[in-house]
Amino acid sequence: MAKPKTTTTAKSTGTLFSGERVVYLILFALAFLLYANTIGHSYALDDRAVTFQNKFVQQGIGGFPEIMTTFYWNGFWEANAGLYRPMSLLVFAVEWQVAPNAPKFYHFIQVVMYALTCVLLYRLLRRLLKDYSKMLVLIATALFIVLPVHTEVVANIKSLDEILSLLFFILTMGQLLNYSDNQKPLSLVWASLLFYCALLSKEGAVLYFPMFALALFYFTKNTLRQIAIIMTPLAVIGLLWFLQHSYVIAHAPTQADAYTYQDNALIAISKEFSMDRLATATGIFGNYLYKLIIPYPLSYDYSYNEFPGTSFANPAVLLTLAAIIGLLFIAFRQLKKKTLLSFSILWFFITFLLTCNLFVLIGATMADRFLFIPSLGFCLAVGWLVSR
């Protein structure tokens, strides 16, 4: 007897443009055209330090060994700021190999990388937020693309480190979801390698580690034990990266420089922790929140005395403090319900921890680029509110 015929359905190949290719193309075009005007620009600000005045980048591929074994600014000057971000420098070295001293080409690559990252972000969110509407994801991604505070990141060649950091987060999260679905160890291997690339892009990527775990908790059916198992190889990679980072900085020809008020105006208030310094940092945090909603004025630099020292008697500081407490209260109150609003708030605060100056002083008072990664939480929250 002949076997009965069985019907089969075509399965998605999982390629970049499978399924929603029109949406992908529209999002890519939106991101590219929005910043296409920057392609004709020359170098700006710190661009010179990572391109035409960087002796390692100018060696092209031949500069890879020095880039991988020295601190971030070593190809430009001897000032050691304690940074180790070789990934973007490797990209610049390749670009220099292809087109030496061609800022228009570098800006073109920057815009393409931004557009590609936004498309992949949409793709990841569609997969991660499968229980939410497509419109929510579309609104959140489109808002992320057009958010004015991203201008510094896309228009400044040096800020490729921010774009690469987000790109590797997206790719890592995708592999973690693959493992969650198919339990294939190779997915965890890829996730670990991609997380390592994110860490080599920018130190702040270490804060992706808790966000990976939270994303698995909020949007998958994995138990806490399963999440812990999934996160173990990433924890090992994080430790190895930390040891590598520490070794490079410790064995640099010059010791790490201490920041001054010329780097971060909060140091002019107090070198040690003080309530006035905390109040001023809280006020600056309020400016970040304000710029997400009303992005004017934007600036390439917020230096000394842009934000004069203040105290907790300042109404604006108290308002900001109330907003922070209120948002965190909502996030933790809805933690057990695993709401998207809760995740969005936690994404904003966790990815902003190292650059908000509330806990550690960094080498800048304030910068629009510091909102690039955290702003995704804002965009998700807006998408959730609008879709409701």
CA gap 115, 326 in Å, rounded: 34
User: Which residues make Cβ contacts (< 8 Å) with residue 121, sequence separation at least 6?
Assistant: 141, 144, 166, 170, 376
Whole-number pLDDT of residue 13: 43
Whole-number pLDDT of residue 281: 94
Amino acid making up residue 202: K
CA gap 210, 144 in Å, rounded: 22
Three-state DSSP class for residue 80: strand
Whole-number pLDDT of residue 19: 61
User: pLDDT at residue 10 above 80?
Assistant: no
User: Which residues make Cβ contacts (< 8 Å) with residue 49, sequence separation at least 6?
Assistant: 73, 76, 77, 158
Is the whole model's pTM more than 0.85, yes or no?
Answer: yes
CA gap 110, 104 in Å, rounded: 10
Tokens for 47? 């661009």
Selection from 231, 124, 217 nearest residue 168 by Cα:
124
Could you read off the pLDDT of 251-301 as tens digits, one per residue? 888 887 778 888 888 888 876 778 999 999 999 999 999 999 999 989 888
CA gap 277, 267 in Å, rounded: 8
Whole-number pLDDT of residue 254: 81
Selection from 316, 322, 320, 370 nearest residue 348 by Cα:
370
pLDDT band for position 9 (cuts 50, 70, 90): very low
Beta bridge partners, 256, equal: 80
Whole-number pLDDT of residue 368: 94
Whole-number pLDDT of residue 1: 39
Selection from 181, 51, 166, 173 nearest residue 116 by Cα:
166
User: Which residues make Cβ contacts (< 8 Å) with residue 356, sequence separation at least 6?
Assistant: 281, 284, 285, 288, 370
Whole-number pLDDT of residue 217: 97
Whole-number pLDDT of residue 7: 37
User: pLDDT at residue 6 above 60?
Assistant: no
Higher pLDDT, 257 or 82: 82
CA gap 149, 177 in Å, rounded: 30
What average pLDDT is seen over the chain? 92
Whole-number pLDDT of residue 68: 96
Could you read off the pLDDT of 227-259 as tens digits, one per residue? 999 999 999 999 999 999 999 999 888 887 778
From residue 185, alpha-carbon distances to 150, 178, 246, 247, 375 in Å are 36, 10, 29, 30, 32
Share of the chain above pLDDT 90, in %: 80
User: pLDDT at residue 136 above 90?
Assistant: yes
Could you read off the pLDDT of 20-76 as tens digits, one per residue? 889 999 999 999 999 999 999 999 889 999 999 999 999 999 999 999 999 999 999
CA gap 329, 106 in Å, rounded: 43
Could you read off the pLDDT of 327-347 as tens digits, one per residue? 999 999 999 999 999 999 999
CA gap 250, 288 in Å, rounded: 33
CA gap 65, 61 in Å, rounded: 9
Q: Which residue has the tokens 């190895």?
A: 240
Buried b (16+ CB within 10 A) or exposed e, 86-121: bbbbbbbbebbeeeeeebeebbbbbbebbbbbbbbb
Q: Quick count: other Cβ atoms within 10 Å of Cβ 384? A: 20
CA gap 237, 118 in Å, rounded: 26
Selection from 219, 223, 249 nearest residue 73 by Cα:
249
Whole-number pLDDT of residue 5: 39
Contacts 24+ apart (CB under 8 A), 34-39: 34/145, 34/146, 35/111, 35/114, 35/151, 35/154, 35/155, 36/111, 38/107, 38/110, 38/111, 38/154, 38/155, 39/104, 39/107, 39/108, 39/111
| Cα atoms in the 13 Å half-sphere on the side-chain side of 327 | 20
Instruction: Report how far apart the first and last C-alpha atoms of the chain are (Å, whole number).
Output: 56
> Cα angle vertex 182, ends 181, 186, to 5°?
120
CA gap 228, 213 in Å, rounded: 8
Whole-number pLDDT of residue 269: 86
Whole-number pLDDT of residue 141: 98
